Amino acid sequence: MLGRMEINGVSAVVTGAASGIGAAVARQLADRGAKVVVADLQADKGEALAKEIGGAFARVDVTDTDQIKAAVEQATALGPLRVCVNSAGIGWAQRTIGKDGEYDSAHDLDAYRRVIAINLIGTFDTLRLAATAMSRLEPTDTGERGAIVNVASVAAFDGQIGQAAYSSSKGGIVGMTLPVARDLSAVGIRLNTVAPGLIDTPIYGEGEQSEQFKAHLGQSVLFPKRLGVPDELAAMVLACLTNSYLNAETIRVDGGIRMPPK
């Protein structure tokens, strides 16, 4: 028997869904018949996307548990919540110590805490609440109650100079994949992680200079020599959600890149 979790008619929560990989995931889920709650801080973009795909917008700061709960409740009202994708995150670059040997020049500790709070704790908070709602559902024909995908980064494995905070947060997402999948297996919920490489999202800015910068970055990719596009990542997220035998795994989608120190 081929295990494929049906997405048509279910509801989904996607964090960081107003742009980039999250938006591509939301569109692909909607194309397959899911009702998507676009959870993001960017209300203008989020509401526009929700309208475009026939979903709903929820203003969510992933460091606010009550806002996450409200988005989960909103999703359960649209249909059985069987899908959660955690794509919300921020970047930060700063070296661990400064050049002048002063304590005050060392890495900004509040910035480190903030990156961990959003990228790592926000991901765990969202998945624990979404999984709780999923656990109340009856299992599907494939015996599962739902599936969750977390978005990490290749920085979890080959973080560059200045990426201490970002790599810590993404490494934490990779590290929780197996134990959380083991926890959730008791109720028939799968968890996988996707680790993107260099992806063409708004993080690189816009205009001719940013295009040149992206073309330069693309040369360091093994093959194909370009940045990935959000739809390529979203396709892997969808595969993780629908393939019932894929569980507790972290998959790099990166064109084979191994990031150099800088």
Tell me the pLDDT tens digit for each residue of 120-171: 999 999 999 999 999 999 999 999 999 999 999 999 999 999 999 999 999 9
Question: Are 17 and 36 contacting, i.e. CB atoms less than 8 angstroms apart?
Answer: yes
Q: Catalytic: which of 112, 166, 204, 245?
A: 166
Measured at the CA of 141, the angle between CA 10 and CA 34, to 5 degrees, comes to 15
* % of residues, the chain, pLDDT over 90: 96
pLDDT in tens, 90-110: 999 999 999 999 999 999 999
User: Could you give the number of structural domains in the chain?
Assistant: 1
Confirm whether 93 is domain-assigned: yes
pTM: predicted TM-score of the whole model, two decimal places: 0.97
Kindly state the average pLDDT of the residues 8-15. 98
The answer as to whether 6 is a domain residue is no
pLDDT for residue 201: 86
Q: Is 161 contained in some domain?
A: yes
pLDDT at 1 over 80: no
Compute the distance between CA of residue 26 and CA of residue 21 in angstroms, rounded to an integer: 9
pLDDT digits (tens, 9 = 90+) for 194-237: 999 999 988 788 899 999 999 999 999 999 999 999 999 999 99
Task: Read off the pLDDT of residues 105-119 as tens digits, 9 standing for 90 and up.
Answer: 999 999 999 999 999
Half-sphere exposure at residue 251, Cβ-oriented, CA atoms within 13 angstroms: 19
3-state secondary structure of 15: strand
Where residue 166 sits, what CATH number does that domain have? 3.40.50.720
Range of the domain at 217: 11-253
Report the Cα 103 to chain-centroid distance in Å.
Answer: 34
Cβ–Cβ contacts within 10 Å for residue 191, how many? 26
Q: CA–CA separation, 229 vs 214, rounded Å?
A: 12
Does residue 2 fall inside a structural domain? no
Residue 44 falls within a domain, yes or no? yes
Tell me if residue 166 is catalytic. Answer: yes
